Amino acid sequence: MGVSAEKYQQSLDFLFGRLNYERMGSSKYSTSDFKLGRMQELLDCLGNPQFQVPTIHIAGTKGKGSTSVMIAEMLSAAGFRTGLFTSPHITCYEERILINGQQIESEQLVELVSELIQVVEQLDLKPGNMNPTFFELTTALAWMHFHKQHVDFAVMEVGLGGRLDSTNVCDPLVTVVTNISYDHTALLGNSIEQITREKAGIIKQGIPVFSGVTQPEALAVLDEVCQENQSLLYLLNRDFMRLAESHQNSQLEQADDSSQIPAKNQQNIQVKTPWSLIDQMPVTLLGTHQLTNATLAVTVIDYLRQQRIPLEDAQMRQGMSYLKWPARIELVQKNPPVIIDTAHNGASIEALVDTLTASFPQSNRVLIFAATKDKDVREMLGLLLPHFQTVILTQYLSNPRRIPVEELVDLTRESQKTTGNTSQLIITDSPEAAWSRAKVVLTADSLVCVTGSFFIAAELRELLLGTTDEVLVTEPC
C-alpha cells in the first residue's frame, strides 16, 4: 500500500521539530526540564499502552544498549514477538523501534504520528509547559507500536539517567542496571553515588534488579534503594558470574590480502546464575566488556525462565550467535581493518583501547576523532593518543553539539604537550575529508579507528556502508 514520501517526511519533521535534548549540550538544560508528569499525561491520553506490554527496563552508563539487544535477540530466538527500544539511532530514526529485529515501517510510523499529533495539539494548549519533547514522543511511539503489534515483551533502554527518563513510567518484569561511570555529570551529578542514585531511580517496588555494577560506593546506593523498595538485588560476581571463556577470539584468520582480523563468532562464555550453569554461550560483539554484558543478559533470561517463560539453552545460543549491534567496536572493513565505535566517555574509551590491544596486531594505527560538547574530551584524548601513530581530527555535520575542529586541535596539542605524545596530527573539517586523508596515510600494517561520539560513528558508517550492515571484505582503502 505504501505511504507518500511527503507524508513520511512530515511525520519526521513533526517529531524532530519538538524540543530535542539529544541536539543540545547538557549545560543548556537541567533536571527541571524532565517531567515524568508530562510523559504520564501523554500516555494517559493514549490509553497507557506501556501497561499492556511486559517490559524489561534497562539503565546504565555504558553497555545498556548491548545488553538490551542481547536480551531481545534471545527472546526473539525463542519464538517470542519482542520489541526493542534504543537510542540514539545510527543511520535512520526507525532503528530506535524494532520488533524481532525489524524496524518500524514507514506506513506504521506515519499512522502512529497522526494519532500522536491529535493528542499533542491538545496537550500543547494546556498551561504549565505541557509540550511533550522529541524523546517523550519517540518513547510513546515505541509503546504504541509494541502494543498495536501485540508483542510478548518490550525491552526498553533508558535514554538518559533513569529517575526522570521518559521510559520510567512502566511496570517492568525486571529492572537492569548495567554499570556506572562518569557521564552527563552536569545533569546526573559529579560523584558515583549521585549518578548511581539517578540510575537507580528506575527500581520499582518488589521488582527484581540485576546489575553489573562493581564499585563499592555504587553498590551501597543500589543496595539501599533495593531495600527501600523491597526488591531483590542480583549482583555480578556475587549472585551470577562468568566462570570460563574460550580465548579463540584472540586467534586470527588470514584474509586474502594477508591482513589480519579477529576470527568471527569465536567468543564463548560459561555463565553461572542462581539457578543454572549455562555453557558455550556465544558472544559475537568484540571486547571483554561485552562478555560482562552477555553474562548479565543471560542471567536476566534465566530468571525469566524461572517465571515459567519457556526458553531453551539452544534458543538462547541461537539468539546470541546472530546478534549484530552497529557501531559498537564494529569491524566495517577488513582490508585494512576499520573499526567504528560510539565511545564517548572515559570508561567506553578504555574498553575500546583494551579491545584493540587484545584483538588487533596492526602497529600503524590511525584515529579519526570528533567529539561532542560537554564531554570530558581531555580524558578521552589522554586515553587514546598513546595508541595511535596518526590522529585525524574532524567534526561531524549532523548535530550542533559538535566541538569545532579548531577547538579539538587546541585540546589535542595541550594533551600532547602535557604527556609528551608525538602522534602526527591531521586536521579536517568533515568526516568525508577525514576518510580521504586516512586513505593517504595507510600502509599494509594499518588499522583505522573512528570514535569519539555517536554522531561521528554514524556519519562515517553511512559513508562507508550506506544502509547495509555487510562488512566490506574485498574493497581496500
Q: What is the CATH number of the domain that holds 93?
A: 3.40.1190.10
Same domain for 366 and 244, yes or no, is: no
CA atoms within 13 A on the CB side of 450: 31
Read off the pLDDT of residues 87-111 as tens digits, 9 standing for 90 and up: 988 889 999 999 999 999 999 999 9
Read off the CATH number of the domain in which 451 is found.
3.90.190.20
Same domain for 305 and 334, yes or no, is: no
Question: Where a domain ends, among 280, 299, 321?
Answer: 321
**What is the chain's mean pLDDT, rounded?**
88
Give the model's pLDDT for residue 263.
Answer: 44
Same domain for 194 and 302, yes or no, is: yes
Same domain for 244 and 175, yes or no, is: yes
Give the model's pLDDT for residue 128.
Answer: 66
Taking residues 257-277, report their average pLDDT: 71
Instruction: Please state the domain count of the chain.
Output: 2
Percent of the chain past pLDDT 70, that is, above it, reads 87
Percent of the chain past pLDDT 90, that is, above it, reads 70
Question: Where a domain ends, among 321, 350, 379?
Answer: 321
Of the candidates 403, 398, 347, the residue with the CA atom closest to the CA atom of residue 370: 403
Same domain for 396 and 453, yes or no, is: yes
Give the model's pLDDT for residue 265.
Answer: 42
Read off the pLDDT of residues 296-355 as tens digits, 9 standing for 90 and up: 999 999 999 999 999 999 999 999 998 988 999 999 998 899 999 999 888 899 999 999
Same domain for 69 and 161, yes or no, is: yes
Give the model's pLDDT for residue 191.
Answer: 84
What strands lie across the sheet with 337-340, from one edge to the other?
Answer: 330-334, 337-340, 446-451, 364-369, 390-393, 424-427
Give the model's pLDDT for residue 349.
Answer: 94
Look at 186 and 69; give whichever has higher pLDDT: 69
Which residues have CB under 8 Å from 264's CB, separation 6+?
A: 253, 284
The kind and range of the H/E element at 339 are strand 337-340
Give the model's pLDDT for residue 331.
Answer: 93
Give the model's pLDDT for residue 225.
Answer: 96
Same domain for 257 and 195, yes or no, is: yes
Contacts 24+ apart (CB under 8 A), 122-128: 122/45, 123/38, 123/41, 123/42, 123/45
Residues for the chain: how many in total? 477
196 lies in some domain: yes
472 lies in some domain: no
Read off the pLDDT of residues 135-194 as tens digits, 9 standing for 90 and up: 999 999 999 999 999 999 999 999 877 788 999 999 999 999 998 876 654 456 568 888
Give the model's pLDDT for residue 476.
Answer: 40
Same domain for 219 and 335, yes or no, is: no
Same domain for 94 and 69, yes or no, is: yes
Read off the pLDDT of residues 391-411 as tens digits, 9 standing for 90 and up: 999 999 988 889 999 999 999
Give the model's pLDDT for residue 183.
Answer: 61
409 lies in some domain: yes
Model confidence at 26: pLDDT above 70: no
Model confidence at 367: pLDDT above 60: yes
Give the model's pLDDT for residue 468.
Answer: 56
Angle of helix 5-16 versus helix 106-124 axis, rounded to 10: 40
SS3 category, 286: coil
474 lies in some domain: no
Give the model's pLDDT for residue 132.
Answer: 87
Same domain for 305 and 375, yes or no, is: no
Domain range holding 218? Answer: 5-321
Question: Where a domain ends, among 268, 288, 321?
Answer: 321
473 lies in some domain: no
477 lies in some domain: no
Alpha-carbon distance values, 97 to 105, 136, 431 (Å): 10, 13, 27
475 lies in some domain: no
SS3 category, 261: strand
Same domain for 145 and 262, yes or no, is: yes
Give the model's pLDDT for residue 29.
Answer: 45
Contacts 24+ apart (CB under 8 A), 439-446: 439/477, 441/366, 441/390, 442/336, 442/364, 442/366, 442/477, 443/364, 444/258, 444/259, 444/336, 445/362, 445/363, 445/364, 446/336, 446/362, 446/364, 446/365, 446/366
Look at 264 and 67; give whichever has higher pLDDT: 67
Model confidence at 461: pLDDT above 90: yes
Do residues 87 and 159 touch, judged by C-beta distance below 8 A? yes
Read off the pLDDT of residues 371-390 as tens digits, 9 standing for 90 and up: 998 889 999 999 999 999 99
Give the model's pLDDT for residue 123.
Answer: 86
Give the model's pLDDT for residue 360.
Answer: 93
Same domain for 129 and 204, yes or no, is: yes
Taking phi over 0 as left and psi of -120 to 50 as alpha, with beta for the rest, 308 belongs to left
Model confidence at 427: pLDDT above 60: yes
Alpha-carbon span 211 to 441, nearest angstrom? 43
